Structure 1
Amino acid sequence: MKKVAVFGNAGGGKSTLSQKLSQITGLPLHVLDKIKFQPGGAEVSQEDYQHTHQQILATNRWIIDGFGSMETLWPRLDEADTLVYVDLPLYVHFWWVTKRLITGYFQPPEGWPQNSPIFKSSLSSYRALWLCHKYLTPKYREYTKQAQSTKNVYHIRSTQQISQFLELIEHQAKLKDIH
């Protein structure tokens, strides 16, 4: 596990999972929302975003959290040796976007650029939920199914599996330290 892509629908806990995964593995974490958006929520140019994304892909070790753009999504998944696909039931994604909207006024959401507009960003997440579920989820599922023969694939389908995945990785890291 050297190049890890964490992806899935909005509000699935990808940023929290990625942060914990980075702490366990020591792999550098790159949060695409923080690369694609400046503090305050303004979007960087597509050219700047793609350039930064390509620079990260060219390194030997990374965790990349998030969607980014259609132009960078598939090359990133192809380059990764490990895929962590967070594919929770749609109602869980919806609830966690709502929870993030409410709590975001008191504590900034994990993985969001500083001073992000909570309400506006949450509305974007709500719009993305159905679009991702309808168009990308079937493609993600097919991609991860095909990739199982060449990559480490973790297809997380429940909130319990998030904890189980992190426990497994922590256990593997401890075994590695012993040997």
Structure 2
Amino acid sequence: MKKVAVFGNAGGGKSTLSKRLSEMTGLPLYVLDKIQYPSGDTEVSEEEYQHIHEKILATDRWIVDGFGCMETLWLRLKEADSLIFVDLPLYVHFWWVTKRLIVGFFKPPEGWPQKSPVLKSSLRSYRVLWLCHKYLTPKYREYIQQVQSSKSVYHIRSTEQIAQFFESIGNKTNFKDRAST
């Protein structure tokens, strides 16, 4: 596990999972929302984002959290040696977006750029939930089926499987040392 793509629908806990995995493995973490929206609501140009994304993929060790854009998504999934697809039931994603909205008024959500407009970003997440579930999630499922023999694939379908994932990673002896070689 040297190049890890963490992806899935909004509100699935990808940022929290990615941060914890980075801490456990020593792999550098790149949060796409922070790259695309460095000051919260101001987006970098598409060319600048793609250039930064390209530089990340050219390195030999990374965890990339998030969607980015369609042009970079499939490149990243192809380049990754490990895929973590957070595919929880839609109601869980919806509830966690709601929880993030409420908590976000008191402290910035995990993985979000500083000064992010919590209400506006949450409303965008609500719009994305159904669209992703209907159109992109089936493509993700198809993709991981196609590549499961050539990549490490972690298809997380329940909140219990998140804990099991970390337990399995934690049980690997000297995982941090092996991840850096």
Q: TM-score, normalised by structure 2?
A: 0.95
Deviations 1:90-129 (A, max 9, x none): 0000000000000001110000000100000000000000
Report runs of 4+ in structure 1 exceeding 6 Å deviation: none
Q: Which residue in 1 is equivalent to 2:166? A: 166
Q: TM-score, normalised by structure 1?
A: 0.97
Q: Which residue in 1 is equivalent to 2:58? A: 58
Deviation of the 1:174 alpha carbon: 3.7
Where 1:111 maps in the other structure, the secondary structure is coil
Q: How does 1:75-90 map to 2 (within 5 A)?
A: 75-90=75-90
Residues 177/80 of structure 1: CA separation in 2 closer, same or farther (3 Å cut)? closer
Q: CA RMSD in A?
A: 1.3
Which amino acid in structure 2 is aligned with residue 113 of structure 1? P
Distance in 1 (alpha carbons) for counterparts of 2:115 and 2:7: 23
Aligned residue pairs, count: 178
CA contact (8 A) 1:24 1:173 kept: no
Residues 103/173 of structure 1: CA separation in 2 closer, same or farther (3 Å cut)? farther
Where 1:7 maps in the other structure, the secondary structure is strand
Q: Percent identity?
A: 73
CA contact (8 A) 1:25 1:173 kept: no
Q: Which residue in 2 is equivalent to 1:24? A: 24
Residues 163/70 of structure 1: CA separation in 2 closer, same or farther (3 Å cut)? same
Deviation of the 1:38 alpha carbon: 2.1
Deviation of the 1:175 alpha carbon: 6.2
CA contact (8 A) 2:169 2:175 kept: no
| Structure 1 unmatched runs, 5+ | none
Q: Which residue in 1 is equivalent to 2:74? A: 74
Q: Which residue in 2 is equivalent to 1:44? A: 44
CA contact (8 A) 1:22 1:63 kept: yes
